[in-house]
Amino acid sequence: MQKKIKKVIIPAAGWGTRFLPLTKVVHKELIPVLNKPIIHFLVEEAVASGIEEIILVISPRKLEILKYFNVNSELEHQLKKSGKIEFLHKVKETNSLAKISIAIQNEQLGLGHAIFSAADLIDNEPFGVILGDDLIKSKVPALKQLMEVYYRTGNSVLGVQSIPKKDISKYGVMNPKNQLDALKNEFAIKGAVEKPKPEEAPSDKAILGRYIFTPELMPLLRTLKPGVGNEINVVDAFEPLMKMGQEIIAFTFKGTRYDLGSMEGFVKANIDYALEDELINETILNHIKTKY
Ligand code: G1P
């Protein structure tokens, strides 16, 4: 019987440079898909997966993200007074989504460093990681799909999908134990390469922002030296983890993944969510059909 996964770490300390100039004043995680900021979707996914506590890793300059999850009494009072009950519920929902904790990352030294910044809030327990650049729309929440693999196998699990060769250099890429395994939707890896050149990528399966780690990962992160991009990369902990006798499983989750690290991904997400929103879908579809 595996230990229960109760906590998820969401790194949210970066500068959001790809969205400048907007991110000069709006934190990347607060940019919306329709009327909800990215961070809301990520927390919802964690909660729908059965997670009890969300640890946001933020920099001291991003404390405002917390405001989104805190009570705004003045706004609630106004909405109540003017009888806007539907909006009041929407606002209240954001205060009660989950238990939110924060960990401060003073310097942005890479994903491995961001995860390690939450070490004090993780006991000797398995935990999940959700990255804000990857929004995943699926029937079963993506994190939950990974958690099921963990509960069945007891191994660390990486959420992967196939990525076209031209884009592979943006990601951590799986090296399957056996090349044929890369055709399966679940396989053990012998390693992973961070942001390889297309011709050097060991497969087309890239990690897309969802991870489950066994408790042994945290102490290993402390020992890592900067690697690719001069960053402390979490993939560099995989080899030492496997040397300890652990398997790492790459699992192809089901769902549509939007790359919210890119403008195209953001626009696609907004279009798809709009076309599924019963209040606005007809108007948007008509607009697209008549204009293009
Ligand atoms: C990070 C990870 C990379 C992973 C990617 C998923 O890269 O280092 O292994 O594939 O997220 O979005 P970043 O996008 O932070 O450069």
Q: Considering Cα of 100, then 217, then 156, then 258, what sign does the dihedral take? A: positive
Q: Which of 130, 134, 170 to mutate to test the pocket of ligand 1 (most atoms within 8 A of CB)?
A: 170
Assess whether 200 and 271 both reside in one domain. no
CB 248 within 8 A of CB 156: yes
Residue ranges making up the domain that contains 178:
7-261
Assess whether 187 and 289 both reside in one domain. no
Q: Which atom of ligand 1 is nearest to the CA of 259?
A: 12
Assess whether 154 and 286 both reside in one domain. no
Mean pLDDT of 274-292: 95
Domain for residue 1, yes or no?
no
pLDDT tens by residue, 2-40: 899 999 999 999 999 999 999 999 999 999 999 999 999
Bond prior to 196 in cis (omega within 30° of 0)? no
At 181 the pLDDT is 79
Backbone angles phi, psi at 242, to 5 degrees: -70, -30
Does 179 have pLDDT greater than 90? Answer: no
CB 221 within 8 A of CB 118: no
Counted domains in the chain: 2
pLDDT > 90: what percent of the chain? 96
Domain for residue 200, yes or no?
yes
pLDDT tens by residue, 85-120: 999 999 999 999 999 999 999 999 999 999 999 999
At 252 the pLDDT is 97
Does 1 have pLDDT greater than 90? Answer: no
Mean pLDDT of 114-140: 97
Q: Which of 10, 42, 111 to mutate to test the pocket of ligand 1 (most atoms within 8 A of CB)?
A: 111
pTM: 0.96
- Residue 248 CB–ligand 1 contact under 6 Å: no
Mean pLDDT of 48-65: 95
Q: Which of 17, 116, 133 to mutate to test the pocket of ligand 1 (most atoms within 8 A of CB)?
A: 133
Q: Whose CA is nearest to atom 9 of ligand 1?
A: 172
- Residue 33 CB–ligand 1 contact under 6 Å: no
Helix (H) or strand (E) holding 43: helix 38-48
Domain for residue 2, yes or no?
no
Does 124 have pLDDT greater than 90? Answer: yes
Mean pLDDT of the chain: 95
